[in-house]
Amino acid sequence: MTATDVLLLEGVAAPGRSVDVDLLVVGAGPAGLYAAYYAGFRGLRTAVVDSLPEPGGQVTALYPEKMIYDVAGFPGIKGRDLVAGLVEQAARFDPVYVLGERAERLGNEAGHRPRPGDRLVVTTDKGTRIGCGAVVVTGGIGTFTPRPLPGGAEWEGRGLTYVVRELAAHTGQDVVIVGGGDSAVDWALALDGIATSVTLVHRRKHFRAHAASVADLERSRAVIVTDAQVSHLEGDGTLHTVHVRHKDGTVTPHQAQAVIAALGFTADIGPLESWGIEIVDRKILVDTAMRTSVAGVYSAGDITEYSGKVRLIAVGFGEAATAVNNAATYLDPDQPLFPGHSSDDPAGIGAPAAH
């Protein structure tokens, strides 16, 4: 099963319908997908809502072709393959996916601010009403928008992109990558040997990317242009030249059929700020049980904050399991916090929780 296949499942909710589950996961990134698996393992009926049209969060939207090296058990795995595996892992428990819809309002069944013990209702921007006993927010960094390349708007979709969805799409092309962070350097490395040529343009002398990646880049065939910015793009309906302005004011043309602008992105956690949960600097404050300041609402992944927080996918997986296990005991105090190891169950499925 691939990440895209989830859109074809019967478990995808139509906009405007009502969904009734034990647990709602807000965010279908890696932490959210693992939370959906673990909730199923705990015997909880689960729904997953995400504003993006397919699961995977930032991984799917921003770097599906990038290799990820810090997930336990995988010496290296492409972003899209990691997401596909997480979707398949959760699929045995048939979570309901509410995709392309943003979770907006949180209340109780009467439409008021929820109190401890209330059944929760989350309403999306498209009118879907999701009733649940508890919520786990795994919204990553919230809704994110790539920072645009100045003067490049008219070339979007005609040679200018902000993400590499398929490396093979750039086979035989001259590619200019703009940026100095990990994404820019990683894409330059990944395209070296696939594209005819790779040129990386960065406005500063030093890169923000990992030093080891920069060292690999310097050993690659990519052309590195620092202290420079893209002046303008040129083409005759189809992009053919990128003009780069250097610090001394000179402008150099570079042949290119594709420009990848890896300039970062802006993030907005949007409606979550109206839910009454404690938020500082666009991060949700949680305790060691991943509880937020609102009863029944938990959080995991990059969107959370606590002393000593480390933002890694691997950490998000652990936080998701912690959040789900504590949510299970919130829903039924007679349930144990730790359900046992999946390896103790030949089917890999824990005993259903009482509801």
pLDDT in tens, 8-31: 344 566 666 899 999 999 999 999
| Residues 16 and 126 occupy one common structural domain | yes
Q: Is residue 355 part of a domain?
A: no
How many percent of the chain have pLDDT more than 70? Answer: 90
Average pLDDT in the 185-204 region? 94
Residue with more model confidence, 350 or 223: 223
Q: Report the distance separating Cα 12 and Cα 139, nearest Å.
A: 19
116 shares a domain with 32: yes
353 pLDDT more than 50: no
Confidence (pLDDT) at 7 = 41
Give pLDDT tens digits for 302-352. Answer: 999 999 999 999 999 999 999 999 999 999 999 999 888 887 765 555 544
182 and 320 assigned to the same domain: no
Q: Is residue 350 part of a domain?
A: no
pLDDT at position 230 is 95
Domain end (from 232, 263, 294): 263
pLDDT digits (tens, 9 = 90+) for 47-78: 999 988 889 888 887 778 788 889 999 999 99
In angstroms, rounded to a whole number, what is the distance separating the alpha carbons of residues 81 and 67? Answer: 10
In this predicted model, which residue has the larger pLDDT, 289 or 338? 289
Instruction: Say if residue 137 is in the same domain as residue 182.
Output: no
Same domain, 114 and 238: no
Q: 91 and 187 in one domain?
A: no
**Contact in structure between 167 and 66 (CB atoms under 8 Å):** no
For 104-132, what is each residue's pLDDT tens digit?
A: 999 999 888 899 999 999 999 999 999 99
Q: Which residues line the annotated binding site? A: 50, 58, 63, 103, 144, 302, 343
Number of domains in the chain: 2
Lowest-confidence segment of 131-145, 279-293, 313-327 by average pLDDT:
131-145
Domain stops at, among 234, 263, 292: 263
10/138 same-domain check: yes
Is the pLDDT reported for residue 284 higher than 60? Answer: yes
CA 160 to CA 332: how far, in whole Å?
Answer: 52
The residue to which tokens 């820019």 are assigned = 184
Measure the CA–CA gap between 20 and 226, rounded to whole angstroms.
54
Q: What is the span of the domain harbouring residue 243?
A: 148-263
Residue at which a domain ends, from 263, 278, 311: 263
Give the CATH number, domain containing residue 238.
3.50.50.60
DSSP-derived secondary structure letter, 192: B
At 222, is the pLDDT very low, low, confident or very high (cuts 50, 70, 90)? very high
pTM exceeds 0.95: no
User: For a pLDDT cut of 90, what percent of the chain falls above it?
Assistant: 69
136 and 177 both lie in a single domain: no
Task: Answer yes or no: is 137 within a domain.
Answer: yes
Out of 58-72, 237-251, 279-293, 317-331, which region has the weakest mean confidence (pLDDT)?
58-72
In the structure, what pLDDT confidence band is assigned to residue 229 with cuts at 50, 70 and 90? very high
Residues 139 and 9 reside in one and the same domain = yes
Q: Is the pLDDT of residue 221 over 80?
A: yes
In a domain? residue 135: yes
| Residues annotated within a binding site for FAD | 50, 58, 63, 103, 144, 302, 343
- 175-197 burial by CB neighbour count: b if 16+ within 10 A, else e? bbbbbbbbbbbbbbbbbbeebeb
Q: What does the pLDDT average to over 196-204?
A: 97
- 237: number of Cβ within 10 Å: 6
Residue 351 lies in a domain: no
Residue 161 shares a structural domain with residue 293: no
What average pLDDT does range 89-93 have in this prediction?
A: 96
Minimal CA–CA distance to 298: which of 120, 52, 87?
120
The 10s digit of each residue's pLDDT in 257-266 is 999 999 877 7
pLDDT of 354: 42
